[in-house]
Structure 1
Amino acid sequence: MLFQEVPKGQSEEDMVGRPLPHLGASMQACGEAVYCDDIPRYQNELSLRLVTSTRAHAKIKTRLLIRLLVELSSTLVWCITKSLGTWQVHSLLKQTHLLCNQDSLGSHIASPGEFYIGGQEHFYLETHCTIAVPKGEAGEMELFVSTQNTMKTQAFAAKVLGVPANRILVRVKRLGGGFGGKETRSTVVSTAVALAAYKTGCPVRCMLDRDEDMLITGGRHPFLARYKVGFMKTGRIVALEVDHYSNAGNTLDLSEAIMDRALFHMDNCYKIPNIRGTGRLCKTNLPSNTAFRGFGGPQGMLIAEQWMSEVAVTCGLPAEEVRRKNMYKEGDLTHFNQKLEGFTLTRCWDECLASSQYHARKSEIDKFNKENCWKKRGLCIVPTKFGISFTVSFLNQAGALIHVYTDGSVLLTHGGTEMGQGLHTKMVQVSSLGLWESSLTPRCLYEGRCCVKLSSGTYQKPKQAQQSLSALQVEGAFVQGLGLFTLEELQYSPEGSLYTRGPSTYKIPAFGSIPIEFRVSLLRDSPNKKAIYASKAIGEPPLFLASSIFFAIKDAIRAARAQHSDNNIKELFRLDSPATPEKIRNACVDKFTTLCVTGVPENCKAWSLRV
């Protein structure tokens, strides 16, 4: 890892920018950190379990003794369109349009295509957990919850119990991971637990088993894209039209905002003169899909890089050359009319090409592929432009409360949740400087406030509160993206039952999946005047960078296909995400793959269906 050193002469009391260790690291490593289910049991505590239905879209005729929350988690409503060979879902919740200039495009190459991106399970180490403790007067209740969203947890519990929100106290000290999966779906558990505690008058606890958590809480939205791209023989993109379909599940949840973000990222880093995007949310009788790191952005950008790679192949040009030719420049307007200011993309791109010795590596790979018949290598570089913050602008605010006690200790309360990303550590660094400065000059305590990150930009970072934790976030996000694009595949039965309900059937990246040579550098001398201490978002943008692995794999497959005389090197082939080993092998197309029957006869029931 390469960091930018703190400026010479920076005071020793100024902790901003210094690589301090994660405040909870030692406690987490030795098992002393207290998570929700580690809280000692109350004397009269009850345990709650959720009852799941074996049928989807069904009515419960028998009244249960205690009304528990039931998640319906089975059959998907299917309509197979034989002429298209793809699936369509009956119910469409909402359609969103982005429409820009539709001028006459003149003579160009038009290339249609279709691309599917599978869903992803959050697989946080700590599953959903809630402890509800009724206080015995005026409907007051204390909730200890593993959630990213204390406000919704409080509001939902208050509404169900019929009490004002100020009677519900929600406590969150730390989460054992969240990744967006505990933004709204934690209320499935917390609301049921609160109701049980209210009815019984006793403390109630519920922590889901892994299979229960995977079955009912949803994950990243699967996407299907149908696109048409118009481009010149030089590789210059002149027009784009993409229809996006997402599997929303059985409720709206955050699917609308996720589709919005997918549409905002359908250009990734490329200036497209004529662009049209549509988004359709497909209602299905599966658990509602929800927020996941990237929030629709990775799906929109992966689709963009899919058609961009096909343009490069069709034109017979290096993919990195075509990508560079179409990139935005400083001051350009996006398709949603945002002016790009402080746009460091080309600088990041050039530095990455140089530091990775990209062209030398590419020559080595070409040589290796010519000399080896059954082993192939691939290489790819992919840019990222990620729009952070909420699309509803009034949500982009934050506050904090600092108590300075007479013994000199300080209590900092802020609106963020510590999920392992080191937020508490960064906030302590920021507030400590503010308090230190306040002790020297007559300044108000609000200078020690916490602040959300407010900036658009690339994954490489300027000086900020904690560069070492930021670099670790890049590594973690990249590896999670590796899982999304190459390993993690959700399998459903024809009746909609989830087969992959645990680590034995659902494979996430392990230690062996992490690259041995893994270099992360943070962009130097890149100020951001719009945020505290030049802060930029670090949690979500790096995830999509792992798509470079997906397209490097596709590059290697193309090399394998090209060695057969009956295959054209410019021939396009389909490889959906994730690029699992069996998909990779079958895509290579040789004498062995012809022995493998991949089609399903009409009279045969498939064991697994794509959702």
Structure 2
Amino acid sequence: MHSLSTLIPYDAQKKLIFFVNGKKVVEPNPDPEWTLLWYLRKKLLLTGTKYGCGEGGCGACTVMISQYLSIEDRIKHITVNACLTPVCAMHGLAVTTIEGIGSTQERLHPVQERIFKAHGSQCGFCTPGIVMSMYTLLRNKDDIQYADIETALQGNLCRCTGYRPIIEGFKTFMKGWEKYYIDEDTDKGNGLCALGKECCRNNENANSNQLFNKSLFQPYDPTQEPIFPPELKLDHRYMKEYLYYEGENVSWVRPTTLENLLSIKAQFPNSKIVVGNTEIGVEIKFKKKVYPILLYPSVISEMSCCNVSGKGVLVGATTTLTDLTDFLNNQIKNEIKKAQIFEALKDMLHWFAGNQIRNVASLVGNILTASPISDLNPILMACSAILHVDSTERGHRKVMIDDSFFRGYRSTAIQADEVVTSVEIPFSDEIQYFKAYKQARRKEDDISIVTSAFNVKIDSISQKILYAKLCYGGMGPTTICEIHVVQAPSSSQCYEINNDDRTACDAVGLPITHLSALKQATGEALYCDDIPPANNVLYLKLIFSEHAHAKIKSVDASKAMLLPGVEAFLSAADLDEECNKMGPIVKDEEIFCSKTVTSRACVIGAIVATTESVAQKAKDLVIVKYEALEPVIVTLEDAIARSSYFSGYPRILRKGDIEEALSRSTHVVEGHVRNGAQEHFYLETISAYAVRTEDELEIISTTQNPEEIARIVSEALKIPNNRVVAKVKRVGGGFGGKETRAAFLAVPVAVAAYKLKRPVRSVLDRDEDMQVSGYRHPCWIKYKAGFNSDGRINAAKFEIYSNAGNYLDISCSMLERALLHVDNCYFIPNIEVVAYLCKTNMPSNTAFRGFGAPKAMLAAETMIRNVALKLNRSYEEIVEMNLYREGLLTHYNQVLTYCTLPRCWNECIETSDYWRRKRDIEEFNRQSRWQKKGIALVPTKYGISFQVDVLMQAGALLLVYRDGSVLLSIGGIEMGQGLFTKMVQVASRALDIDYTKIHVSEMSTDKVPNSSPTAASISSDLYGMAILEACKILKKRLEPYVSKNPNGIWEDWVQDAYANRVQLAATGFYAAPKIEYDPDTNSGNLFEYFTYGVACSEVIIDCLTGDHHVLRTDIVMDVGESLNPAIDIGQIEGAFMQGYGFYTLEEMVFSHSGEVLSRGPGTYKIPGFSDIPKEFNVSLLKGAPNPRAVYSSKAVGEPPLFLASSVYFAIKEAITSARKESGASPEFIMDVPATCARIRMACEDHITKQVKPTVTRKGKPWNVKV
């Protein structure tokens, strides 16, 4: 391929040898382009390790790497991101995956058991990675503390649980962990349970009134861990060998001497040195960079040592950031007076990336990447660190990191043929003050917005500043410099179990663990892309539009088709025009765009090839020529200016005489609220797998709506629906994002499989998924309210503008939900809502947990607070004046029955100790200028129904086998919300058998046809009732045999019925009462019932940086009589944290041209482990049965999300305190999300007044508010 081979020793090792889960792996022809994740999943078929993002940002692919350090005679264990780790770097190492530590068939590891029993796994896609992070911590440390757990989990994300149960389970590995649950010196404990010492958790005896029983945990014994492979310990040549692996496009070299490394760099200056592959790996995957030669200097001694020199420390170029942290800690202990720079660097390293990245990334790698937002470069520049550099031509030289080191964007003074061997960091002196700071969107594992380091020397006698060096990142294309010569979270979960008439087998109301959680914790749970590939399987890659609005002039796939392995190119030409359409309500979307693209998410075609890599390469060879069209409508302002609305809008809802009520009101307030888009960020990206057998087609897809997938495929291929079966085993998170949008991938996959008569599969990369799958709708809501001096609201007008994107999708239903929830919890006798659905050139937005309610309710809450502000009265007074109560009418004239809202409100105030804390906060704010606290209450009322009659139906199939086991099938899918578990509990009570006898395998359209999407939080209600019907039928058939043998057991009666040829299969069907709403008269019932709740949150903000922390959250939720309190509490906490992300953290960024700039966890931040409230208390309202749902329960998936706005409003309260102190108006507008930048700018002071908006050279901001 090139002359590199002439520089390689003749005895270089060309085989890759390593161990996986104790078994030796010998790969004779390793390809340097293979990642460890690819090798584990595709070569070894170990699918427990998941692909979540491909950039080392989510932790789903976490595995443990072990190495024997012969000099120290110890085994070192680290976690790594397998998605970035080159498999070629594994030579001589031992890899442990989730499959290697325990299984359901043999022995569970205690980590797996505890996350399972603590209810720490919902959808389960993130679980293996989280388990491996905790497992590695236990392998490395005996006496772990809470801070160790926090650090170990920094690189892991979960979108479902809200993190609390994971932490609860893992804290049990700490010695004396019980103190985090109960404080012996107090009555209430550590904020966890109001029962204090009487808390059920302190009862060693198992009882039903606890979420998990610690006495049932198997003890952790570190001596029982698998042994390190003796061969790697005894044979030291593995770590000394010269390695040379040659692939089709890339060569991998691991030289053993610096001399050899320099000689290769001299002849191939553009070759890349790899240490952790954390930057190069991302460039190769997402930026399509190709580096023909990769040099891996991991065994070169000159580059791997850390030493103390006379002036400071020398850090080897391949020293990992984790090892550097340990080294710095030792130096700080030994040289406390000279360690200010080390302290600053160590502190910054804690916030640098996740643990998995720090375990492999190097300090020198970070320097040479030369990122303008580097966390570490400002520190190194401020302290004038020196790089030791070698090359064949120039020999050894020293290069200081000063204001001339960074030559431009990602460019340094180091020459292409040079190798940095170490970095010298100086000691500090006694007159020196050194500090570093980082501001980011999320506290942990986040890239910086800005960073800084300050190096100041002060004369000890005169106290004059002798020297000041101030360095900044994020302020320009490079790091810039100015020189002047002059505690553990706690929580509680309170609920009751109604034991009246409970039988021994009755599982309803018990905190049973998620039925799939055990398999999820061991990696045995299969998701769509885990299905073993067939021998003749093909891989599909979609080709998306590169323009937001353009005419397709031509599509040329000829070059792609010439690539070996390419089997087909599919486009609109492969489908009849009438068959090339889809859409859940209106068929306004083409499967393959034929003439015009209206967003960058439009699918133009698909490449089908024998391997995924070939499909990817071929996809990039397809040439699409466009003719740009105008206008490109991106923002709501664009749409409003051009009256770009979907047909049928505005939608208007009126009640009463609005103008008359406003005219007689004593006061009027006006304002608006605005929210950006929110990405679903389910951990499992959209994927699909289709197999044709004869003239039938089976589709496995990550969808919340299998019936729709089957129907669209049937229509596209012109085959009857009974020939197409759609199946879903489980989905790795959905949140509404897979209700309709999964079809744009599943349908092309199915079409390809049918036409080519071979199995076809596809999985979207994270960046693709985030660019095309749609989001929560950006929304702009204007309000006007009229009210009297006592605070009673007479009338309100709302004007809603929602950015739907380019297709209708189900945006009309979303907007309808917004119209119906714009009152939130307040009785407004006269109301008008005018809602516009804006058509833009953005990817089609879609369902997201809460649908349109969280945005509309935000407007109502903001309005109520402004009423209080206008009257100079307390928010609580205004709420209680206007709060809904039993018997009142909503603005669509539905009578509220069984309204527990006032109870939730009062109970939350009481349990949160609201009034005392509010007084304490007022006193704190009087004493503190730059830190402010805030506390806020927020109620919610969420209607439960699809609002469309045809969807309010459900089916169930019950099959009883001769051994008494029961197979249950329903039309709903399991995506982590616990639907299957709850339905097993319902069947258990209805049949009066132990729940362990009942199994739900999957959702399949050939078992339960014509199903509704699993959405709107109503699936438990619908399918629970269908199951009751099926169980009723079956029990009726068994009655004669029960009567004949009353002392028998379930198996006896089943066997007797079988012997008498009685049918042991039953179907159940449920159709909810017809919706009696008349839009013409605006009257009737739209919802089956309402789920109520109230939250109280307390925050503290830093007025100078905009940082905030949630100190405490208390939630009281009415879920009726809970079917499963563990699952319901998990849903409440998970919804709250997802809402917390929406209201305060998650910011999607778009360009003027409609390009999505937030494409992965590196640029889009969901809440992490450290973001949960320091104290998180959840109570389920007692004594509130719901007569309108199965076993008096209530839906819980979506209603709690809005309660997270309590954090947003608490932040506003804190900001208001700051503004009053600076003389600014207490009335201000802050868009959602309340990012640190928005918080900082809202805390108006003399600094903020000097800030001007950032603009590009063209005079426009670089991104837009959509």
TM-score, normalised to structure 2's length?
0.46
Greater alpha carbon shift after TM alignment, 518-527 vs 54-63: 54-63
User: 1:300 aligned to 828, 835, 856, which one?
Assistant: 856
Aligned mates of 1:96, 1:107 — CA distance in 2: 26
Task: Tell me what 1:456 maps to.
Answer: 1090
Greater alpha carbon shift after TM alignment, 307-316 vs 368-377: 307-316
Q: For 1:327-366, what aligned pairs fall within 5 Å after superposition?
A: 327-366=883-922
Q: For 1:2-401, what aligned pairs fall within 5 Å after superposition?
A: 2-7=494-499, 10-65=502-557, 66-68=569-571, 69=592, 72-73=599-600, 76-77=632-633, 88-93=641-646, 94-102=649-657, 104-105=660-661, 106-137=664-695, 140-401=696-957
User: Deviation of residue 8 (structure 1)?
Assistant: 5.1
User: Deviation of residue 67 (structure 1)?
Assistant: 2.4
Larger of the two Rg values belongs to structure: 2
| Secondary structure of 1:385's aligned partner | strand
Aligned mates of 1:316, 1:307 — CA distance in 2: 14
Gaps of at least 5 residues in structure 2 are 1-492, 558-568, 572-591, 602-630, 994-1034, 1043-1063, 1073-1086, 1093-1116
Task: Tell me what 2:1056 maps to.
Answer: none
Please tell me whether the aligned partners of residues 784 and 796 of structure 2 are also in contact (alpha carbons under 8 angstroms).
yes
Q: Which runs of 4+ in 1 moved over 4 A?
A: 78-81, 439-454, 599-603
Aligned mates of 1:63, 1:182 — CA distance in 2: 29
User: Deviation of residue 324 (structure 1)?
Assistant: 1.5
User: Deviation of residue 154 (structure 1)?
Assistant: 0.6
Instruction: Write out per-residue CA displacement over residues 118-168 of structure 1, whole angstroms, 9 at most, x where no aligned residue.
Output: 11100001110100101123xx10001110001110110111111111110
Greater alpha carbon shift after TM alignment, 4-13 vs 375-384: 4-13
Aligned mates of 2:671, 2:929 — CA distance in 1: 30
Q: Per the alignment, do residues 174 and 603 of structure 1 end up closer, same or farther by CA in structure 2, a change over 3 Å counting?
A: closer
Paired amino acid for 2:600:
S
Aligned mates of 1:329, 1:602 — CA distance in 2: 56
Instruction: Write out per-residue CA displacement over residues 503-546 of structure 1, whole angstroms, 9 at most, x where no aligned residue.
Output: 00001011011112100010111011111111211000000000
Q: Per the alignment, do residues 599 and 111 of structure 1 end up closer, same or farther by CA in structure 2, a change over 3 Å counting?
A: farther
User: 1:544 aligned to 1198, 1202, 1213, which one?
Assistant: 1202
User: Deviation of residue 86 (structure 1)?
Assistant: 10
Greater alpha carbon shift after TM alignment, 2-11 vs 126-135: 2-11
Task: Tell me what 1:497 maps to.
Answer: 1155
Aligned mates of 1:584, 1:383 — CA distance in 2: 23
Task: Tell me what 2:1237 maps to.
Answer: 582
Aligned mates of 2:1195, 2:692 — CA distance in 1: 38
Aligned mates of 2:643, 2:1141 — CA distance in 1: 31
Instruction: Write out per-residue CA displacement over residues 408-438 of structure 1, whole angstroms, 9 at most, x where no aligned residue.
Output: 2211000111011111111111112222273
Aligned mates of 1:151, 1:448 — CA distance in 2: 18
Aligned mates of 1:87, 1:155 — CA distance in 2: 35
Aligned mates of 1:80, 1:36 — CA distance in 2: 37
Aligned mates of 1:58, 1:599 — CA distance in 2: 29
Task: Tell me what 2:229 maps to.
Answer: none
Greater alpha carbon shift after TM alignment, 599-608 vs 25-34: 599-608
Paired amino acid for 2:876:
E
Instruction: Write out per-residue CA displacement over residues 285-305 of structure 1, whole angstroms, 9 at most, x where no aligned residue.
Output: 111000000110111101111
Task: Tell me what 2:1224 maps to.
Answer: 567
User: Deviation of residue 610 (structure 1)?
Assistant: 0.7
Paired-residue identity, %: 46
Greater alpha carbon shift after TM alignment, 302-311 vs 172-181: 302-311
User: 1:535 aligned to 1160, 1172, 1193, which one?
Assistant: 1193
Greater alpha carbon shift after TM alignment, 519-528 vs 393-402: 393-402
Task: Tell me what 2:86 maps to.
Answer: none
| Secondary structure of 1:194's aligned partner | helix
Aligned mates of 2:1167, 2:494 — CA distance in 1: 24
Aligned mates of 1:533, 1:280 — CA distance in 2: 39
Task: Tell me what 2:974 maps to.
Answer: 418
TM-score, normalised to structure 1's length?
0.95
Instruction: Write out per-residue CA displacement over residues 379-428 of structure 1, whole angstroms, 9 at most, x where no aligned residue.
Output: 10011010111011231121200000112221100011101111111111
Instruction: Write out per-residue CA displacement over residues 325-348 of structure 1, whole angstroms, 9 at most, x where no aligned residue.
Output: 111111011110100000000001
Which structure has the higher relative contact order (CA within 8 Å, separation 6+)? 1
Aligned mates of 1:143, 1:123 — CA distance in 2: 23
| Secondary structure of 2:1188's aligned partner | coil
User: Deviation of residue 602 (structure 1)?
Assistant: 11
Paired amino acid for 2:1224:
N
Greater alpha carbon shift after TM alignment, 428-437 vs 293-302: 428-437
Aligned mates of 2:510, 2:741 — CA distance in 1: 36
Task: Tell me what 1:591 maps to.
Answer: 1246
Aligned mates of 1:79, 1:505 — CA distance in 2: 21
| Secondary structure of 1:413's aligned partner | strand
Aligned mates of 2:1239, 2:1152 — CA distance in 1: 24
User: Deviation of residue 114 (structure 1)?
Assistant: 2.0
Task: Tell me what 1:609 maps to.
Answer: 1264
| Secondary structure of 1:384's aligned partner | strand
Q: For 1:440-519, what aligned pairs fall within 5 Å after superposition?
A: 441=1039, 454-458=1088-1092, 459-519=1117-1177
Aligned mates of 1:325, 1:441 — CA distance in 2: 55
Aligned mates of 2:865, 2:698 — CA distance in 1: 53
| Secondary structure of 1:4's aligned partner | coil
